[in-house]
Amino acid sequence: MQEVAAQIMPRVDRQFVGKVQSEVHASTGVRLVSCEFDTASYQPALFAELGIVMPESIARSVPKRQAEFLAGRYAAALALQHLAPVRNQDLQVGIGDKRNPLWPKGVVGSISHVGSVAVCAVSRAADKDYLGIDVEVVMSARVCREVARIVSTRQERELLCAEGLSEKMALTLIFSAKESLFKALYPSVQDYFGFEVAEVCALRLGEQSLVLRLTERFAEKHKLPREYECQFTMGEHWIQSVTCGKFPRRAKLKAIG
Ligand SMILES: CC(C)(COP(=O)(O)OP(=O)(O)OC[C@H]1O[C@@H](n2cnc3c(N)ncnc32)[C@H](O)[C@@H]1OP(=O)(O)O)[C@@H](O)C(=O)NCCC(=O)NCCS
């Protein structure tokens, strides 16, 4: 009955933006905004309504992609309003060559979307040099079988399972943590690195944190530290990972230069 009502209602009366939550992430201090959205209610006019510029590449994409892009950029605009360096400035977040978001000067940030939720994390660049966020739905057994060897080693999976995580949770967490690391480091390295470049080498389940270690070769190539702390949150069906921090001085010089 409800479905029928939704179909006959004019599209404009239905809500694209649902519940919005904004908080300071307790363990990292970064600003987190999540925004539920309804792809079925999407229409291009919402970009103007929500104050988001629609880039040409997005205008050429399918409505589902336009909707998730809009929700992510809307969450970003809300998150940026909390940061002193960008107050009263243009809150648009551009798109880089490799789909990486281009943040206003003085800001680091990251976006993820899954299903009907978009999340954005931002920080002042004075407080963090790198920041990546990722949200994943817990993988099915079939997906686990397909991707396990691509995204992880047996050692990594055993490490997490030994702490009591199911195989599905363990693999989803490894995947999500590595995606957040990729997004965090991409602006510095400008290198599309794969899952084999990092391994989960420690898990502190009680603190909801783990450590990712880069291979020596990759870290040396980009003059980066080898280890990165990732904070995660687990729901019954999803996992969110945030990897952020500051580079030691020498690595920072390389990253900027
Ligand atoms: C790019 C990638 C990380 C996106 O992740 P995803 O799970 O497919 O999708 P998400 O919704 O979580 O994230 C998408 C957002 O990531 C951001 N993103 C995309 N490319 C990015 C890049 N090169 N650098 C930083 N952020 C990027 C964008 O904001 C994008 O949303 P938008 O296009 O609407 O702005 C993923 O598709 C990918 O290519 N992964 C392979 C690389 C990797 O993870 N290596 C592991 C290293 S250990």
pLDDT digits (tens, 9 = 90+) for 182-234: 999 999 999 999 999 999 999 999 999 999 999 999 999 999 999 999 999 99
One domain, residues 244 and 166: yes
What is the C-alpha separation between 257 and 148, in angstroms, rounded? 36
Residues 119 and 176 in one domain: no
Instruction: Note whether 100 and 76 are within 8 A (CB).
Output: no
Q: Ligand 1: distance of its center to the CA of 3 in Å?
A: 33
Task: Name which residue sits closest to atom 40 of ligand 1, judged by CA.
Answer: 179
114 and 195 assigned to the same domain:
no
143-178 confidence digits (pLDDT tens): 999 999 999 999 999 999 999 999 999 999 999 999
Q: How far apart are CA 93 and CA 181, in angstroms?
A: 20
Residues in the chain: 257
Residues lining ligand 1, Cβ inside 6 A: 68-69, 72, 98-101, 111-113, 134, 178-179, 181-183, 186, 193-195, 197-198
The answer to whether the beta carbons of residues 171 and 195 sit under 8 Å apart is no
Query: The domain spanning residue 53 has which CATH number?
Result: 3.90.470
Residues 115 and 231 in one domain: no
Q: How confident is the model at residue 89 (pLDDT cuts 50, 70, 90)?
A: low
| 8 A C-beta contact, residue 205 and residue 239 | no
Ligand 1 nearest-atom number relative to CA 65: 34
Classify 235 as helix, strand or coil: coil
Q: What is the pLDDT of residues 44-84, one digit of tens each?
A: 999 999 999 999 999 999 999 999 999 999 999 999 999 87
Strands 130-137 and 238-245: antiparallel
Burial of 243 (0-12, 13-18, 19+ CB in 10 A): buried
What pLDDT band is residue 249 in, cutting at 50, 70 and 90? confident
Which mutation among 95, 111, 197, 211 tests ligand 1's pocket best, with the greatest number of atoms within 8 A of CB? 111
Atom 42 of ligand 1, nearest CA residue: 194
pLDDT tens-digit readout, 105-119: 999 999 999 999 999
Residue recorded with tokens 């599209």:
11
Q: Which atom of ligand 1 is nearest to the CA of 111?
A: 29
Same domain, 242 and 174: yes
Nearest CA residue ID for atom 23, ligand 1 = 100
CB atoms under 10 Å from CB of 114, counted, come to 16
Determine what percent of the chain is predicted with pLDDT higher than 70.
Answer: 89
* pLDDT number for residue 88: 59
Query: What pLDDT score does 250 carry?
Result: 55
In sequence order, the β-bridge partners of residue 210 are 203, 230
194 and 235 in one domain?
A: yes
Q: Do 187 and 143 fall into the same domain?
A: yes
**Do 139 and 250 share a structural domain?**
yes
Domain range for 194:
133-256
Q: Say yes or no: 110 and 142 in one domain.
A: no
Mean per-residue pLDDT of the chain: 91
Residue (of 40, 29, 103) closest to 73 by Cα position = 103
Residue 106 and residue 143 share a domain: no
Atom of ligand 1 at shortest range from CA of 183: 25
Is there a single domain that holds both residue 167 and residue 104?
Answer: no
Residue 237 has pLDDT above 70, yes or no: yes
Of 73, 175, 179, 230, best ligand 1 pocket probe by most atoms within 8 Å of the beta carbon: 179
| pTM assigned to the model | 0.92
Domain holding 168: CATH number? Answer: 3.90.470.20
Question: For residue 250, how far is the Cα from the chain centroid?
Answer: 26
pLDDT score of 11 more than 50: no
Could you give phi then psi for residue 188, rounded to 5 degrees? Answer: -85, -40
Q: How many domains does the chain have?
A: 2
